[in-house]
Structure formats: structure tokens, C-alpha cells
A and B are shown apart, each in its own frame.
Chain A
């Protein structure tokens, strides 16, 4: 499993558009991508699930990538977070 932690810098948190982009990004890989905030988890391909985590700016999420292409997918997802969120 590839995991990393990321602190959101977008001023309004993970809002609809980046969540939608994230869902598309996650769907490109066969690995499952989970966004975890505290004890809540959401699968990254699911826009409404991600939004319902209610991640605000300054909050840190843990991202777990698990599956056949996890190291490559994980690196790409991490890069996505850095440039979009």
C-alpha cells in the first residue's frame, strides 16, 4: 500500500470541482484510492463521498492507494494533490 499525508491549502477545502477532477484522476488507475479524515473514509472515485468528508483548508488527510499499480498510481495522485488541492 502507498500512503501519504497531505494538508489542504485550497482556501475552501476539497470543493466540488477539484473533487470531480480527483474522481477522474482516481478512475484512471486500477488501484483503489481512499481519502481518510479522522475515522471517516471515502473512495476517491466518488465525488459526493469525498465532498461529504467536509475537508477544509488547513486540514490534513491521509491518502491510501492499494492495488496492482499502487506505487505508480500513488505518486501520480500525490502529485495531483500538490498541484490542485
Chain B
């Protein structure tokens, strides 16, 4: 048995022959040319072809893996148009070098320059320069793109795969990836996670081509790469694989299925996200909408206030990519455990009960105004709903509605397009909001329960306090009664209610929530299919009475 190890970057066990990625024959033709004008024209044609190919790849990537990954091809097109790059190649060709060698030498020069810089982002661009150059050389030398020429599915080995290579791969032929270099953020790792197949990177040069064709077993969770496995190892990995498959198959069958209980009740299963980058996972897992977009994460990433345009772009992206499905964006929920230096919030003895969330917005109208303008502008591009955190009083909601209506008229006067109606909702996360939920329900379109804060405030237990774990009980009857009361009041007023806190994904409570009539559960993208599975096994007509007895 021969064992190598790397960093597991995408979970799963795969068994299959190891196959090294083919990049043409790897040899760069090098010769002198006499007609340099003709050679330069040949380069120019190849460069234009490469730009066109990248345009097509952009479209393909956009459809398959999302905008984040696709944008890279746009950057590649720009690099191919870079004057330094093009002039360097043209200069070498004029000096009598053939186009393939000129592109290869120029690529090496720029890649070395990037790799030598002390900035991880720029260093990573070395791979991009090599990638665009490999493409141009491939076109010049007539090599076929593709990389996997095998009849049986394989575990693909490579130094690292360039983004354009990962998009072009025939994915039906790949069981997993093993790379010598790369990291958890490399394109290979991202692709593997998107495809849901195992990947291990950073195995190093011990992964030699001598292993080509040998049967390999890889575990993307532990980073193991095993050849010629002994019996116990083989059995262990196969068992693990079978278990994963059974779970995956079960969940896979639920993809595209409705979230409906045995007694025919439909439940909305939405996702919680922090930034537009999380959308790929939402769409892949079949999230029915966004139940909570934590807008404060946008604020926490920067070192200064976000401009209206920056926020607008982020909200618009999410609204557009969700294509008409509801996207609930929660306004700034900062303070307490989430601090940003540039807000210069005064130190508070008890920040959880201090100036936070909606209280900041109602104290600093300019911050609130910027965000609301961005939200209403983005509402023209999808189905945006706005949700306000930390509500305790009816007057707060009335004040917010007045501000919203002013902003709407202001934007209308400026001729800015907006959705005809934008739903407004509030978080139910304070006992006061629960106790006032009958009146609050008449003011808004929906409620969403934030279970972490509701638990902390109901039980008077600091959620970050030490030695308090046994007192912080989100299943406490007091918390469940709070949720039930808010749900009853919501339904009496004809509005819907969801849960966007961690409890939403808690399978032990799903039955209870559905019995209360909770209409929506918003969970992390990876929890959508398991939750759907739970919902589909519940019959609320038989369990309600028992579960609601104490509530």
C-alpha cells in the first residue's frame, strides 16, 4: 500500500484510476521565422480567437457556476488586450521568434513578475497569465482543448487546474481531483465543491506520473490518497463511500421536490446569506428564496460606510439572480456582538441592550436613508422585501414606514424605477415584539423570528456569556410559547410568519413549528435538502394536538 496525503478541500470518497491532465504535448515549438509580418498576423488571429472563446466560456460559466466564477473570463479577455503583454509578444516575433515561443516566453516573464509580488491576490494572477497564454499557444499549434481522453471515469491529477480548464472539462468523466499545488480557494477546489465530488490539493511532487493509470482511493475529507490499498483501508473507505452515497441519493431525490408535509401543507424553505457570493449555494440546493440577507456583513467587510451605489449593486445582484423569488433583506443589524470601527459606537456596559440594529438606524437617519434608497432602487430588479431588526414598539414601525414612504416619493420624483409594492416585515426577537405582535401584525406584511436573540432576551441569558450553556435553552417552553403567540397573532391579522434563526434548521423542532402554522423556515443553503426531507415526513394532522398541548 502506498499512501500520500494532502489537504482535503471537498468532501467525499472516490475510487478510480488516476489520470494526469493532458495539456497538448507540453512541448513549445521554437524556431526562427523570416516573414515576421505574417507571423505577427498569425498571432493576432489566434489572439482574437482566444478572446472569442473566452466570451463563450464566460457565458457557459455564468450558466453553470455563477457570476463570481464567470467574471474571471472577462478579466482574462482584458489581459489578452493588455498593451504590455501584446507588445512584448509582437516585439519578440519581430526579432525573428515564432509566435508560440514568443507567447510562452512573455507568459513566463509576466507570471514570474506577478509571483514575485508580496500580495497574495496578485501572485495568484500568475496562473491567469499562464492560462491565457496556454490558450493562445493551443490555438496557434492546433491542439484540441479538453484534457481528459479516457473512456472510463477517472480521478484527475494535475499541478493545479486553470479556471478555463476546469470549465472545459467533461465532468461526466471525473470522479475526483488530486492536485500537487492549489489551495482550498483554488478553482479546482471550488469546482469540486460545486460538483459535489471529492478533491485533495497540495499533495506535492510525490504525486509523480508513475501513478498514472493506477487504482487510487481518495478521501476528500481527510486528504488521504491511497494506492494499492490493503484490505482494512479498502474496506474502511468503501464503507464510508457507501454511507455518503446513500445519504446523497436520498437528498438528491428531493431536489426539485416541493416542501410539502404528508397532510399536504406547503412550507416555504428559504436561505440565510451574508453576501451575494453565497447565492451559488442557494441555487444549487434549491432554496425557494432568501429568508434573510444579513446586510451588515457588507458593512463589516469594509473600513468605511458603504455608498448607496455599492449597496445597490449588491442587492440588485441578489434580486436578479434569484429571478423573481422573494429576497428578504434585513437592514443593518450592527452593534452588540457585531461591531465596525468606523461607526464609532460608544462603549456600552450592556451592548445587547444598547444602541444596536434599528436603534442605530433611527438615531442616525443618514445611514438608514442610504440603505433604504439602495433597497428601493434594487427593488426594480426582482422581488425584494425589507425586514427591520430589534423592534420593540409600534411607534418604531410607524416611524420606519413614514421614512420608507418619503424615500419612495423622493426616488419617484427622481424618475428612478422601483417595484410597485415592496413588502415590509419585522424581526420578532424581543419579548416586547411578541407581546405587541397583535398590533405590530397590522402594520407589516410579515414576521420573521430571530431565535437566538429571542432566546437570549426571553431567558435573560447572555448568548455569549461563559458558563451559561445549560441555561441558554432555545427549546425552553417560554421561547416556544413566544413563537406560538407571534404566529397566532400573525395569522389572525392575515400575514405570514417565518423563522430565520438557527432554530429553523433544528429537526427536533420542525414538527412543533409546522404545528404552530409557521409558514416559512430560512436556513443555511446546505440545510435545505435535509430540512425538506424532514418536512416531507411530517403529518401535522396527527401530531399537532400533542405538540401544542403545553404551548
Contact = CB atoms under 8 A, between A and B. Distances in A.
Interface of A: 9, 11-13, 15-17, 19-20, 23, 45-49, 51-52, 54, 56-58, 83
B79 interface: yes
A48 B117 contact: no
Contact of A20 (B78, B85, B121, B303): B78
Given A16-B75, A17-B75, A57 B82 contact: no
B78 A47 contact: yes
A26 B301 CA distance: 29
A59 to B, nearest CB: 11
B78 A16 contact: yes
Given A48-B129, A51-B114, A54-B119, 11 more contacts: A9-B303, A16-B78, A16-B79, A17-B78, A20-B75, A23-B81, A23-B82, A48-B82, A49-B84, A51-B122, A54-B117
Contacts of B117: 52, 54
Contact of A11 (B82, B119, B122, B301): B301
Contacts of A45: 83
B265 interface: no
Contact of A9 (B75, B82, B302): B302
Contacts of A54: 117-119, 122
Given A9-B302, A9-B304, A17-B74, A48 B121 contact: no
A13 to B, nearest CB: 7
B412 interface: no
Contact of B128 (A16, A46, A56, A83): A16
B113 interface: yes
A54 B119 CA distance: 7
B309 interface: yes
Nearest to A43: B83
9 closest A-B pairs (Cβ-Cβ)?
A: A20-B78, A16-B75, A47-B82, A54-B119, A48-B84, A48-B82, A46-B84, A54-B117, A46-B83
A51 B83 contact: no
B250 to A, nearest CB: 40
B481 interface: no
Nearest to B116: A52
B359 interface: no
Contacts of B303: 9, 57-58
A23 to B, nearest CB: 7
A20 B119 CA distance: 18
B180 interface: no
B548 interface: no
B125 interface: yes
B56 interface: no
Contact of B79 (A12, A48, A57, A58): A48
B121 A12 contact: yes
B368 interface: no
13 contacts: A13-B119, A15-B121, A16-B79, A16-B128, A17-B75, A20-B75, A46-B83, A48-B82, A48-B110, A48-B129, A51-B122, A54-B117, A54-B119
B77 to A, nearest CB: 8
A54 B79 CA distance: 16
A17 B375 CA distance: 25
Contact of A47 (B79, B113, B304, B309): B79
Nearest to B119: A54
Contacts of B83: 45-47
